[in-house]
Structure 1
Amino acid sequence: MTARVERLVTSGQFTLDGGTWDVDNNVWIVGDDHEAVVIDAAHDADAIARAVGDRRLTAIVCTHAHNDHVNAAPALADRTGAVIWLHRDDLPLWQRTHPDRLPDAWLSDGQVIEAAGADLTVLHTPGHAPGAVCLYDPGLGTVFTGDTLFSGGPGATGRSYSHFPTIIDSIRDRLLTLPPETEVLTGHGDSTTVGAEAPHLDEWIKRGH
């Protein structure tokens, strides 16, 4: 059975550098009728568990460790037995939210996470956060970009642990090289495609997001 992608929007707060903002997050569920993985367990473990239903949840993959993307991960893992995956470079951010609980496993560039007919290849794309990753499945024609690339440009780089030239390099070298029809499923807001965003790279650089 071919994997399918489901979107759940959860709401909560993002907190960093002494500021707090209300945010809506995209939680992506990838799998079939029997098995699934969750990309970014944001805010509401109960709502995510309901969306997964009676499927076996094998993994919770964190695109990065800002609190609004990982705050429900331990509770969801405790309920389901799923493995929490994070890139090691984001451990300092993770520990701000979960000082007493480490992720279960470390993501590495080029690694493939299998999920019920999906093969999610890890692309290390630092910039928004040091350990930010995107997950690309050529079979689905989809890349999950977390907060690295949105409809309209790069993710924010004005706060701790972020760096604008680095995110531009990540987008240029790792994302805009994907087929133009690749669907870009983001951490917040609307989806887009690689082809829709690629022509605007020079604008983003000049704007210096």
Structure 2
Amino acid sequence: MGVTIENLVTSGTFSLDGGTWDVDNNVWIVGNDAECVIIDSPHDAAAIINQVKGRTVKAILLTHAHNDHIGAAREVAEAVGAPIILNREDLVLWEQEYPDAKPDQYHEDGDEFEVGGAVLKAIHTPGHSPGSTCFYLESEGTVFTGDTLFNGGPGATGRSYSDYPTILTSIRERLLTLPAETVVRTGHGDNTTIAAEQETLAKIAE
């Protein structure tokens, strides 16, 4: 039996470069009845803590460190006793939210995280932010893409520490090479597939 994948949507704000926007964020919980990992911890710590329902949380894996993805991370981590794990290249963003504390650990491209007999593999996909990372769950045919790849194309790159050519390269070289039927589970909005986004990206000029 494969692991389960649960989706929780939390609502709050995203702030960067002096602007603030209302956003709904996807939280992904991957595991089984005994243990799980949490992918991103935005806005609402109580809702996330309630969703894991007393399971052992092996890690809080962060796709990147924009405040709308990490705002509840420390409160959740303290409540469930799990390490916060972030790509080191996003520390500049992390420190805007948490200037007095570092993540517990750092993940790098190719790192693997076992949960419930399945393995999540980190794929470093810079562009939306320097440390943006996706997590590939090959056994379940799915990838968690944070804000790197959405239903309809690349994540935003119009703000500090982001770069449009870089995100296109990341998507084309690191994500669109996954099996076409792979389900893409995003940081905001609806799921898509690698096949659908191959078509989308084919229409986008460099």
Matched, 1:198 2:198: yes
Q: Partner letter of residue 70 of structure 1?
A: I
Within 2, Cα distance between the matches of 1:93 and 1:28? 21
Within 1, Cα distance between the matches of 2:105 and 2:168? 27
Shift, 1:115, TM fit:
1.2
Shift, 1:118, TM fit:
2.2
Matched, 1:69 2:66: no
Q: Partner letter of residue 41 of structure 1?
A: S
Within 2, Cα distance between the matches of 1:150 and 1:141? 17
Shift, 1:203, TM fit:
2.0
- SS of the equivalent of 1:178 reads coil
Q: After superposition, what is the alpha-carbon deviation per residue over 1:119-157, rounded to whole angstroms, capped at 9, x for unaligned?
A: 000000000000000000110100000000000000000
Identity of aligned residues (%): 59
Paired residues for 1:34-73 under 5 Å: 34-73=34-73
- Give the unaligned 5+ runs of structure 1: none
Detail structure 1 runs of 4+ shifted over 6 Å in the superposition. none
- Give the unaligned 5+ runs of structure 2: none
Shift, 1:116, TM fit:
1.2
Within 1, Cα distance between the matches of 2:115 and 2:68? 23
Aligned partners of 1:15 and 1:21 also within 8 Å = yes
Query: Residue in 2 aligned with 1:132?
Result: 132
Query: Residue in 2 aligned with 1:186?
Result: 186
TM-score if structure 1 supplies the norm length? 0.97
Q: After superposition, what is the alpha-carbon deviation per residue over 1:64-113, rounded to whole angstroms, capped at 9, x for unaligned?
A: 00000001000000011101000000000000001111000001100001
Query: Residue in 1 aligned with 2:109?
Result: 109
Within 1, Cα distance between the matches of 2:171 and 2:112? 20
Q: Partner letter of residue 136 of structure 2?
A: Y
TM-score if structure 2 supplies the norm length? 0.98
Matched, 1:98 2:98: yes
